[in-house]
Amino acid sequence: MSNTLKGSCIIGQSGGPTAVINASAYGVIRTALDAECITKVYGAAHGIRGVLDDKLYIMDEEDPKELELLKNTPSSELGSVRYKIADPDKDDTDYRRILEIFKKYDVRYFFYNGGNDSMDTCEKISRYMKKVGYECRVMGVPKTIDNDLWGSDHCPGYGSAAKYIATSCMEVSKDARVYDTGMITVIEIMGRHAGWLAGAAALATCCGSGPDLVYLPEVDFDMDKFVADVEAIYNKTGKVLIAVSEGIHYADGSFVSEAKTSATDGFGHVQLGGLAVRLANTLKERTGAKVRGIELSLLQRCGAHLASETDLNEAVEAGRLAVEAAVAGETGKMVAFERNDVDGKYVCEMTLIPLESVANLEKKVPREWINDEGNNVKQEFIDYALPLIQGQPERPTEHSLPRYARLKKVLAK
């Protein structure tokens, strides 16, 4: 084949971890190890930082069984990073170093697994290598629980987080309704700018025990309206379960979680603690009800024990496709998902889209998928998200606890 390129490859992971980012890494590593033209497979320690610091693990040295356990290992096993590299046209220091490392290890393939920022890094490296005439195929493998990557129907990581959130909301809903006394429970869910995760709480409603109210950052938050929404239900049933996105904000754009005092609570108290506790306290002051604030915190993004099989399989496939496409000659692309349902049955197909069309853009929940009141999602959202949480993958265990991959992480010299 004319476009055969022989050389080694690097895989790096970046941004916040997910339940299945390692499944994508597995897809990349396994496929790369099996690819004839790829001579060596390196894992960068802490993403691009590991390239800059010459800290590369030799994946060829790992036990294949341990590598396969990456599919069930949450978080970023190679280590992640939030380092933002400069624009190569302004400051090429980092890029010269990357090129040096690429040459040192004869790196001809670079796979980067991450969200918006990572695709930006990917795009810059791709652009630089082209500019200096170093042949290296650069591919992005998407991940983000936030589901806000532009150009893809959804992202690996989202389905599993959504499943964790929906399941936890069902469980909390059962628990929070157990006494014969009034109770208002606020659950805080990740998602700084997009409400995909908070909306997933509503999936629990399909199964009869979801939240009564759901607040997304796509709609401006109004504290008085919020209290009125809650009171209306509380006065009727005595029990209210509310899911809120951490990113809800007032009309002026300021985050509710960051307001030093709740502008409308009329008490002027300084409220510390997370958003859930803060909102719960406001509701307590306003309604006199018993309240509880629960923050799903890191649990929602690392809950591999509740991974969606659909999500996990797609994560592996995204990694595999990135390598296969690069071997076939593609570069400067990200693997994206296209939904092409057949007879109402969920079908996800993978495509490649240019990195520059993804980098630094955010996809939000369409306003028309949120009800007019702005306090719940509509059926359109459920229809979108429900297929993504389907299936329970095999979960290897040891002592009935998860058995994660144990990599040797042998450093290249």
Total residues interacting with a second copy, rule: CB under 8 A: 67
Q: CB under 8 A: which stretch of 85-93, 97-105, 222-230, 298-306 binds a second copy?
A: 298-306
Using CA atoms, how far residue 82 sits from 16, 28, 117, 141, 411, in Å, is 8, 21, 8, 16, 22
Q: Which of 1, 178, 251, 342 binds a second copy (CB under 8 A)?
A: 178
- Active-site annotation holder among 92, 94, 117, 146: 146
Q: Which of 108, 124, 239, 301 binds a second copy (CB under 8 A)?
A: 301
Give the up-direction half-sphere exposure of residue 128: CA atoms within 13 A in the CB hemisphere.
24
Helix (H, G, I), strand (E, B) or coil at 272: coil
Which 188-207 positions form the footprint of a second copy (CB under 8 A)?
Answer: 203-204, 206-207
Using CA atoms, how far residue 86 sits from 171, 211, 301, in Å, is 45, 43, 28
Q: Does 302 bind a second copy (CB under 8 A)?
A: yes
Reply yes or no on whether 222 is catalytic: no
Give the nearest distance from C-beta 273 to a second copy in angstroms: 3
- Closer to a second copy by CB, 31 or 282: give it: 282
Burial class (CB in 10 A: 0-12, 13-18, 19+), 405: buried
Give the nearest distance from C-beta 213 to a second copy in angstroms: 18
Instruction: Output the CA torsion sign for 30, 33, 36, 40.
Output: positive
Q: Do 15 and 118 touch, CB atoms closer than 8 A?
A: yes
Instruction: Output the CA torsion sign for 59, 67, 143, 241.
Output: negative
- Closer to a second copy by CB, 90 or 399: give it: 399
DSSP annotation of 203: G
Helix (H, G, I), strand (E, B) or coil at 60: helix
Q: Which two tokens stand for residue 218?
A: 């796509």
Between 19 and 58, how does the x/- string for binding to a second copy read (CB under 8 A)?
--------------------------xx--x---------
User: What is the maximum span of the chain, computed from C-alpha positions, in angstroms?
Assistant: 74
- Closer to a second copy by CB, 46 or 137: give it: 46
Q: Does 166 bind a second copy (CB under 8 A)?
A: yes
Q: CB under 8 A: which stretch of 62-70, 90-98, 144-152, 303-311 binds a second copy?
A: 303-311
* Integer Cα distance of 305 and 303 in angstroms: 5
* Integer Cα distance of 111 and 88 in angstroms: 19
Q: CB under 8 A: which stretch of 36-44, 68-76, 142-150, 316-324 binds a second copy?
A: 68-76
- Closer to a second copy by CB, 18 or 126: give it: 18
Q: Does 391 bind a second copy (CB under 8 A)?
A: yes
Angle between helices 93-104 and 116-132 (to 10 degrees): 70
- Closer to a second copy by CB, 266 or 391: give it: 391
Q: CB under 8 A: which stretch of 86-94, 102-110, 265-273, 338-346 binds a second copy?
A: 265-273
Q: Does 179 bind a second copy (CB under 8 A)?
A: yes
Task: Determine if residue 274 is left, alpha or beta; phi over 0 gives left, psi from -120 to 50 gives alpha, anything else beta.
Answer: beta
Degrees to nearest 5, angle at CA 170 with 164 and 175 = 120
Q: Does 383 bind a second copy (CB under 8 A)?
A: no
- Closer to a second copy by CB, 112 or 128: give it: 112
Instruction: Give me the residues that bind a second copy (CB under 8 A), please.
Output: 17, 45-46, 49, 73-76, 79-82, 163, 166-168, 170-172, 174-180, 185, 203-204, 206-209, 271-274, 277, 292, 294-299, 301-306, 308, 386, 389-392, 395, 397-404, 406
Catalytic machinery residues: 146
